[in-house]
Homo-oligomer: A and B are copies of this chain.
Amino acid sequence: TRFAYVRHFEQASEYFLPRDTWLVIRVDGRGFSRFTQAHNYVKPNDVRGIQLMNRAAMHVAREFNECCAAYGQSDEYSFVLHKSTQLYSRRLSKIASSVSSAFSSAFVFHWAEYFPTTPLQYPPAFDSRVVSYPTVQHVRDYFSWRQADCHINNLYNTCFWALVQQGGMTPPEAEARLDGTFSNDKNELLYSQFGINYNTLSAVFRKGTFLAKEEPGAFPADAFLPGGCTDLLPWPANDQSVEGFPVSPLAGAGALEASVAGLSVSPSEQEAGEVTEKADDTAAAMSSSSTSHLKGRALRRALAKEERKQRKAANLRKDFHALHIDIIGDNFWATSATPGTKPGLGAVLFAERSADAPAPGTLRRSLSQELADVL
């Protein structure tokens, strides 16, 4: 129609995010001071609220394939898209609006599972922004920024509400009491006045939640969890994967076990073993039969194709694990410079490899060696 010319006006607000850079999308609750009050959130931290945020984030992280990890605390969640992503051709509005929409939608959708006795009073909203970071170091610093924020606010809030709820102060009195204090003053205050050792509080509150996309059991805990991870919360039993996604290790009955298992214990190592065996079978089969007659370029191609196939399969097996760990320190980000040492989880998740590359170690060693020999 002759009105269609108005379409062209969209071009002027169509922005493309820089290519080959990491995209971080942060959603933040609009007016959650009011929302948390209206819904009687526990102060300073409401486990139901946190789990609901995690559930909504899990939905978003699964919906957008190139998402490698996410981190949440308070009324916010940050999602990292791998720098190779071409989601919506990197159009800013599409990414920002779709992520905030999916998050909000899932938040309302799952509300009753976490707040079964508190009806939702009105539709909550979340804004979002997309930021482009050129290197992994920036992504690391971004996570550190958000976790440091979590730490500072949580320490403050813990003191504040202890003074008010247990110490009988009025909010203004509590505020005045904390004014000008440093971290150690606050730790000291908690311990001396309320017998609280801040560091023994649940890591969920102190560290926030990090969602890592990994295969079930692919990483033994010691590879990337220097501080350990002792207090993973059980995932509610009524959580179910409704959208045809692979059932999460966090979802359904037994989620806690599976999740912890994913980090350290034996059952998953068995499972991982099986996976590896199967891969080995395939590879062995392939290497002996299908590639034995190939040479040079042809062999290289066949191996590259097989590698892509393995990667894709590995990627399909992956899902998000919720961890409450330190993501600031070097252990999390260490690359395995020294032979024999294992890289940190951060180094694994934010590798240069494309988003669907396999977790290190899942790709059969001999395959990459063969490749190396040929190249």
Residues of A within 8 A of B (CB): 1, 3-21, 27, 30, 59, 63, 83, 90, 92-94, 96-110, 120-135, 138, 141-142, 144-145, 148-149, 242-243
Contact = CB atoms under 8 A, between A and B. Distances in A.
Contacts of A125: 63, 98, 101-102, 105
B97 A12 contact: no
Contact of A100 (B21, B101, B123): B101
B98 A134 contact: no
Given A101-B128, A125-B98, A145-B4, A135 B133 contact: no
A3 B148 contact: yes
Contact of A243 (B16, B97, B122, B130): B122
Given A1-B145, A9-B19, 10 more contacts: A8-B19, A9-B20, A9-B131, A9-B132, A9-B138, A97-B126, A97-B129, A101-B101, A121-B242, A122-B243
B107 A20 contact: no
A152 B335 CA distance: 42
B103 A100 contact: no
Contacts of A15: 12-13, 15, 92
> Main secondary structure on chain A at its contact with chain B?
helix
Nearest to A1: B148
Given A96-B97, A121-B242, A123-B109, A19 B13 contact: no
A110 to B, nearest CB: 8
A6 to B, nearest CB: 5
A1 B147 CA distance: 11
A138 B9 CA distance: 10
Contacts of A83: 134
Contact of A101 (B1, B103, B122, B145): B103
Contacts of A242: 121-122
A109 B138 CA distance: 37
A13 B131 contact: yes
A189 to B, nearest CB: 21
20 contacts: A1-B148, A1-B149, A9-B20, A9-B133, A9-B138, A10-B131, A11-B19, A12-B90, A14-B16, A15-B92, A18-B21, A20-B138, A30-B101, A83-B134, A94-B129, A96-B96, A97-B128, A98-B125, A100-B101, A121-B243
